[in-house]
Amino acid sequence: MDGQGAGLRNQAGDAPVDDSGNMTATAGAGRPALAGTGVTDTRDLAAMTQVLDVLCPMHLLLSQAGEVLHAGPTLARLRPHTCLNGARFLDLFEVTRPRQIGGWDDLLGLQGKMLRLTFRDQPMTDFKGCLALSDQGIVLNLSFGISILAALRDYALTSADFAVTDMTVELLYLVEAKSAAMEESRKLNLRLRGAMVAAEAQALTDTLTGLANRRALEQRLERLAYGRDGFALMHLDLDHFKAVNDTLGHAAGDHVLRHVATILSEETRSGDTVARVGGDEFVLVFPNLQDRRLLDAIARRIIARLCQPIPYCDDVCRISGSIGTVLSSHYDKLDMARMMADADEALYRSKHAGRGRHFFFDQEAQDD
């Protein structure tokens, strides 16, 4: 034979060769390999890839030289802007386990063993893989393993991207169900916590005025009793309030109480406590304040504002206020019941002096 053209036979006489000596594909019974790939003719390759695309959508079909002949549909989705076909496998992936892989020949010796790989470019997704050799080529099947959640985040995968028998789909449903359950649990906990906070706040709040109630006052005084900082306590009682209820009704009285609450809140600091402890009785607590002149100025401003007429429908309500104040520094050992009683005593001195007055509790005057 003269060796001319692409129809020449090789020395064994079983496959034609081209001018460069590479074997070419024919449809004969021997199904010779595609040039330089170790893969049978294109019909076998197409049939094989159709099956692998369904059963193993994250597979790679590789030539014996380590070039990508075909990538499964899911794997192709992961790199939509990269032409995988024709690329060298080790240019696309780094084999991280086992570590002793030095090149393609080393990888071929790991047929059937678990591999760990990662993309060389971003996002550097991790994979588990298994290599198998066949007459049609080298098949490398991949899965995300524990990197599945990161893959879902990076590639927006759906159940259609996995084989129908892949347990990953069930795991995804479990993850979604768990996430939904945890989110509902978180929302429920937030609602319960909010309800608890609201219930606690309601338990410590006077419903009519929005001020602290007696229970809240007792808690605040208990904390102050164990502290080292001094404080002042004012006891306020409204004058002529009963007349408002008797002449204009309880709705007018409620209107007056809410008006008084506004005045007291405006005349105190954010860290002070203003509590309604009775029908027309209020207690004001001033932490870190025992300056008698400043406290007297606060009391006088409150009294002056309380004396102003309070419009109500077509009428006006007229009240005033009497105040008694005690200082924690006057006691060797703090006894809140004693302080309240002494503030009440100073309050009645104000009332006996003509109402609309402010007095400090004076121990020496009481002893006389």
Instruction: Rounding to the nearest 10 degrees, give the CA dihedral for residues 343, 349, 350, 353.
Output: 180
DSSP state of 332: S
Residue 298: inside a domain, yes or no? yes
Collapsing DSSP states into helix, strand and coil, what is residue 118? Answer: strand
Nearest-angstrom CA–CA distance, 39 and 32? 8
Evaluate if residue 365 carries a pLDDT over 70.
no
Average pLDDT in the 2-23 region? 38
The answer to whether residues 127 and 268 belong to one domain is no
Number of domains in the chain: 3
Q: Which residues are within 8 A (CB) of 359 and not within 5 positions of it... i.e. 6 or more apart? A: 323, 324, 325, 346, 347, 349, 350, 353
**Same domain? 227 vs 350:** yes
Q: How confident is the model at residue 281 (pLDDT cuts 50, 70, 90)?
A: very high
**Poorest-pLDDT segment among 65-74, 221-230, 296-305:** 221-230
Are 220 and 357 in the same domain? yes
Q: Give the pLDDT score at 198.
A: 83
CATH number at residue 253: 3.30.70.270
Residue 33 pLDDT greater than 70, yes or no = no
Q: What CA–CA distance (Å, rounded) separates 94 from 10?
A: 38
Per-chain mean pLDDT for the chain:
84
Q: Give the pLDDT of residue 364.
A: 47
Task: Output 168 or 112, whichever has higher pLDDT.
Answer: 112
**Residue 134 domain-assigned (yes or no):** yes
- Report the percentage of the chain scoring pLDDT > 70: 87
Residue 30: pLDDT over 70: no
103 shares a domain with 61: yes
pLDDT at residue 363, as a whole number: 56
- The residue from 165, 191, 223 where one domain ends is 165
Residues 230 and 351 in one domain: yes
Q: Is it the case that residue 14 has pLDDT exceeding 80? A: no
- The rounded distance, in Å, linking the Cα atoms of 236 and 179 is 55
Q: Are 241 and 299 in contact (CB under 8 A)?
A: no
Looking at residue 68, what is its pLDDT? Answer: 92
Range of the domain at 183: 170-203
The answer to whether position 25 is within a domain reads no
229: its two tokens:
């900082």
Are 323 and 358 spatial neighbours (Cβ–Cβ below 8 Å)? yes
- 37 pLDDT exceeds 50? no
Cα 343 to Cα 156, 233, 298, 327, 346: the distances in Å are 70, 7, 16, 9, 5
Give the CATH number, domain containing residue 81.
3.30.450.260
Same domain, 135 and 277: no
* pLDDT tens per residue, range 150-159: 888 888 888 8
Q: What is the pLDDT of residues 329-346, one digit of tens each?
A: 988 888 889 999 999 999
Query: Can you give the pLDDT at residue 41?
Result: 60
Residue 56 lies in a domain: yes
Q: Looking at residues 41-68, what average pLDDT do you find?
A: 86
Does a structural domain hold residue 2? Answer: no
Asked whether residue 22 is assigned to any structural domain, the reply reads no
88 & 182 share domain: no
Report which secondary-structure segment, H or E, holds 117: strand 114-119
Mean pLDDT check: name the lowest of 195-199, 242-246, 268-272.
195-199
The answer to the question of residue 270 being in a domain is yes
Q: What's the first-to-final CA gap in the chain, in angstroms?
A: 143
Query: Same structural domain for residues 99 and 243?
Result: no
Which whole number is the average pLDDT over 159-186? 83
How confident is the model over 287-308, as pLDDT tens digits? 999 999 999 999 999 999 999 9
Looking at per-residue confidence, does 184 or 135 come out higher?
184
Domain end: 203, 227, 260, which one?
203
Q: For the chain, what percentages of helix, strand and coil (3-state, to nearest 5) are there?
A: 45, 20, 35
Relative to beta strand 16-17, strand 8-9 is: antiparallel
Two tokens at 14?
Answer: 């079983």
Shared domain for 119 and 185, answered yes or no, is: no
Residue 365: CB partners within 8 Å, gap ≥ 6?
none
pLDDT at 184 over 50: yes
Can you name the residues that pair with 266 across neighbouring β-strands?
A: none
Residues 193 and 54 in one domain: no
SS3 state at 235: strand
- What confidence score (pLDDT) does residue 71 get? 93
Under the banding of pLDDT at 50, 70 and 90, the label for residue 253 is very high
Amino acid at 262: T
What is residue 209's predicted lDDT score, i.e. its pLDDT? 95
The answer on 224 and 358 residing in a single domain is yes
φ, ψ of residue 128 in degrees (nearest 5): -105, 145
| Residue from 191, 213, 186, 228 nearest 328 by CA | 228
Residue 102 lies in a domain: yes
Report how far residue 122's alpha carbon sits from residue 124's, in angstroms, rounded to the nearest whole number: 5
Q: In terms of domains, do 51 and 183 share one?
A: no
- Contacts of residue 54, defined as CB under 8 A and 6 or more positions apart, other chains included, come to 163
